[in-house]
Structure 1
Amino acid sequence: MAEEAEAAPQVRMNVVAQYIRDLSFENALAQKGLASGDVQPDIQVQVALDASKRAQDHQFEVVQKYKITAKNKVNGDTLFLMEVDYGGVFHVEGVPEDQMHPFLLIECPRMLFPFVRRIVSDMTRDGGFPPLNLDPVDFLGLYRQELARRAQAGNA
């Protein structure tokens, strides 16, 4: 049993850097000069992920892209639109090649999510709305959906 533990490669992951790649916030409510009296927000969050190998050995870049739209349930008017691309550079060793793709698109985004959540909360508050605290994202579920979508596209 001790021999098996020694044979298994040790996974090492370090966050080398993390950063906002792109950020925009549009307060449509204020721009239209609308009163905030009868507002019932309907908030939609879209998440996309991307990962790529960097020139340095064992380094990968992972980018999370969030598009958050808030509309008024009463009349369908857009209240605000926010887009944020948040990236991280990871040094990863010991992950088998066939498991690298899911590792990069599941584990790495989990590490970055609390920082994105804080940025979204701060931006919505600074943009004139109550702070929006994103619900935790199921990155495993997103990964499985993407695999299913690609399989379906391959069959079409």
Structure 2
Amino acid sequence: MAENTNGNGAPEAQQVKMQVLGQYVRDLSFENVVAQKGLTNAEVQPDIQVQVSLDARKRNVEHQYEVISKFKVTSKNKADSAPLFLLELEYGGIFHVEGVPEEQLHPFLLIECPRMVFPFVRRIISDVTRDGGFPPLNIDTIDFMALYRQELARRSAEQQQTPQQVS
């Protein structure tokens, strides 16, 4: 197979092509604990925690990948740590990706793809919290590159702590 060159004999970098083919809510749950318990909103100071996890997999069609972003948003009252609400959202995107070298594909899928659909996730979380009886929650922009690096560091530390079996 002939390699493309840029005229100077150096190999040409293949152009990256990325397209969002579809987006969907895979799972959504919202629990308004305040309403369920009949509590009043007097003296409520919410402490909100957002946990994010990501997953990607190859689809049966060439160059297509599915990326799932999972968000768990918990809100507790700062005064007494009483739960206020719990929101869980799994948001999927189907992407057509070409031109990304194999060794860079995993970080590309877990950084660039979630970044593309994040505005839609933010909107859903805002609408659900507002419709659930709370002020709309506009979560901060997520640095998916930092999130990816944290996960790599966590896995590396986990592997170093696991004793190697000798056969």
> Which TM-score applies when normalising by structure 2?
0.90
Deviations 1:96-139 (A, max 9, x none): 00000000000000001000000000000000000000000010
Q: Which runs of structure 2 are paired with 1:8-23 in the superposition (5 Å)?
A: 8-23=13-28
Q: Taking every aligned residue pair, what percent have the same amino acid on both sides?
A: 65
Amino acid at match of 1:127: G
CA distance in 2, matches of 1:142, 1:124: 24
Q: Considering only aligned residues, what root-mean-square deviation do their CA atoms show, in Å?
A: 1.5
CA distance in 1, matches of 2:90, 2:28: 6
Deviations 1:61-114 (A, max 9, x none): 000000000000011110000000000000000000000000000000000100
Q: Cα 1:94–1:76, aligned 2, differ >3 Å: closer, same or farther?
A: same
Question: Structure 1 residue 3: deviation in Å?
Answer: 3.7
Give 2:164's aligned residue: none
Give 1:150's aligned residue: 155
Question: Structure 1 residue 150: deviation in Å?
Answer: 1.0
Structure having the higher helix fraction is 1
The yes-or-no answer on 1:32 pairing with 2:50 is no
Q: Which runs of structure 2 are paired with 1:77-116 in the superposition (5 Å)?
A: 77-116=82-121
Name stretches of at least 5 consecutive residues in structure 1 with no aligned partner. none
CA distance in 2, matches of 1:84, 1:99: 27
Dislocated runs of 4+, deviation >3 Å:
1-6
Amino acid at match of 2:116: M
* Helix, strand or coil at the partner of 2:44: coil
Question: Structure 1 residue 13: deviation in Å?
Answer: 0.3
Give 2:139's aligned residue: 134
* Helix, strand or coil at the partner of 2:93: strand
Amino acid at match of 2:15: Q
Q: How many residues align?
A: 156
Give 2:79's aligned residue: 74
Q: Which has the larger radius of gyration?
A: 2
Deviations 1:16-71 (A, max 9, x none): 11000000000000110000011000000000000000000000000000000000
Give 1:50's aligned residue: 55
CA distance in 2, matches of 1:6, 1:40: 58
* Helix, strand or coil at the partner of 2:107: helix
Amino acid at match of 1:128: G
> Which TM-score applies when normalising by structure 1?
0.97
* Helix, strand or coil at the partner of 1:128: coil
